[in-house]
Structures are given as structure tokens and as C-alpha cells.
Amino acid sequence: MAAGETHRIVARSGRPRTTALSRLRNGRAIGPASRAAQRSRWGLDREIEGAVWSDPHILVLDPGLAFGTGDHPSTRLCLQWLDRTIGGGETVLDYGCGSGILAIAALKLGARRAVGVDIDPDAVAAARANARRNGVEGQFLDGLAPLAFTADVVVANILANPLKLLAPLLASRIRRDGRLALSGILPDQASEIEKCYAPWIEFAPCTESEGWACLSGVRL
Ligand SMILES: C[S@@+](CC[C@H](N)C(=O)[O-])C[C@H]1O[C@@H](n2cnc3c(N)ncnc32)[C@H](O)[C@@H]1O
């Protein structure tokens, strides 16, 4: 993995499968015949399936029509933040879950419960299927329905404008002293977003990657 990256993503679509597999094997080549013989019910080689179950930093994703292959810098910033934030036993809300990547990552890192929300029904369906692929039990809900879930950790990788509008809702879904991360924003949008959340959140310095920013903080 590149420096600073925390997760390996095995993409079942959207990225050539052989690339993902060879990355997982650290460059060890496996011939097509042997690969076919090892194929499991998940469509993964047995060696990979074993790694998927046992390694919290390997995720298998088929985003389908949803966003969330793990390739986008804003997603990677959120994965890095989750890796630093999830210690075990937390409840997590992944708002704008797309493929479910962040909720699934949180569960694999030890979160007790994760709820993903998205306004796109294709995303909710993809996230449910991806949770099954990774052997975790996330709950994925329609973003237009009322949300009665307060979490220790809230992550939202959407875009600046929706994040501004969602400030009162997201703040109300974090328990006191809980953690929030916001991404999908450009570095020059960060201070405006901080202002919208300032009544509820004390922010740490922003992290950035490849022209994207991630704001994180603690619920006051
Ligand atoms: C950039 S994608 C992020 C997907 C995934 N969480 C990730 O980090 O890769 C943003 C997702 O937010 C969803 N979304 C946009 N506005 C939303 C809203 N107001 N409420 C819930 N979901 C929203 C979109 O449908 C999309 O799936």
C-alpha cells in the first residue's frame, strides 16, 4: 500500500480484478488455472477469502451503481480517520454511505454497530450486499426516512453544500464527546463548513490529500 494508506480494497468491479489480486499478494503471480480452482462461493480465491475474514484492513466491494470503490482521496481520508478513531465497541453512523465502505470498514475495525444512510436506493442495496460480502452486519437505511440513531462516531463523505445543510441533523446524531469526520470537501471550503458546525463541534486541524480535505472534531 502507498504510504499513509490504511486499507486494501478488493474491488469486484470498477477495477481490473487481477490488479487488486496482485496487490493483495504483494506481487506474487498466480496462474489462471490455479486461480479458477481456488475460486470460492464469493467469487474470490480461497486465499483471498481467508484474508478478507481475518484482516480488518481488507475490504471486498462491489459498488454497483453506487459511489465508493475506495479509490477516491476523500474516502481514503475517511478510512484513515476511522483507523485512528475506532478502538472497539463504538456505534457508528456513515451518512452518505454509497457502497457502504466506511460503515463496513468501521465494523471490521471493531465497531459494535454501524448504520449507513443514503438517499440513493442503489447505494443502500449495494451497501447491504457489500456488508454480506465482508461478513459484517451493518444496517443500511433510506436517507429520506427519519433517523433515530445517535452514534459515538459519525462520518459523512458527501460534498460541501449538502454537508452545510446537514449540519444540525448530523450534529444531533452524535453523542456528547463523540467524534465527527466530514469529507468530500475542498481545502478552501473547509473554513465555511467549520463555521456551520461550530455551535456543536470543536474541530482539529484539517487533513488533506490530493486536493481534498477531511475535517474532524469532537461533539461539544
Ligand atoms: C461521495 S459519495 C461517498 C460514498 C462513501 N461513503 C465513500 O466514502 O466512498 C456520497 C454519497 O452521499 C449520498 N448523499 C448525497 N446527499 C445525501 C443526503 N442529503 N443524505 C444522504 N445521502 C446523501 C450520495 O447518494 C452518495 O452515495
pLDDT in the model for residue 62: 84
Q: Which domains does the chain have, with CATH numbers?
A: 7-61 (no CATH), 73-219 (3.40.50.150)
pLDDT in the model for residue 67: 83
pLDDT in the model for residue 47: 60
All cell numbers assigned to 94:
456513515
pLDDT in the model for residue 6: 86
Kindly give the distance from the C-alpha atom of residue 98 to the centroid of ligand 1, in angstroms, as a whole number.
5
Which of 9, 65, 67 is the pocket-test mutation for ligand 1 (most atoms within 8 Å of CB)?
67
Kindly give the distance from the C-alpha atom of residue 31 to the centroid of ligand 1, in angstroms, as a whole number.
38
Which of 69, 81, 82, 97 is the pocket-test mutation for ligand 1 (most atoms within 8 Å of CB)?
97
162 pocket-lining for ligand 1 (C-beta < 6 Å) = yes
Give, for all 220 residues of the chain, the pLDDT tens digit: 666 788 888 766 444 343 344 444 433 333 333 444 444 444 555 566 666 677 889 898 887 877 878 889 999 999 999 999 999 999 999 999 999 999 999 999 999 999 999 999 999 999 999 999 899 999 999 998 889 999 999 999 999 999 999 999 999 999 999 999 999 999 999 999 999 999 999 999 999 999 999 999 999 9
* Contact between 43 and 133 (Cβ < 8 Å): no
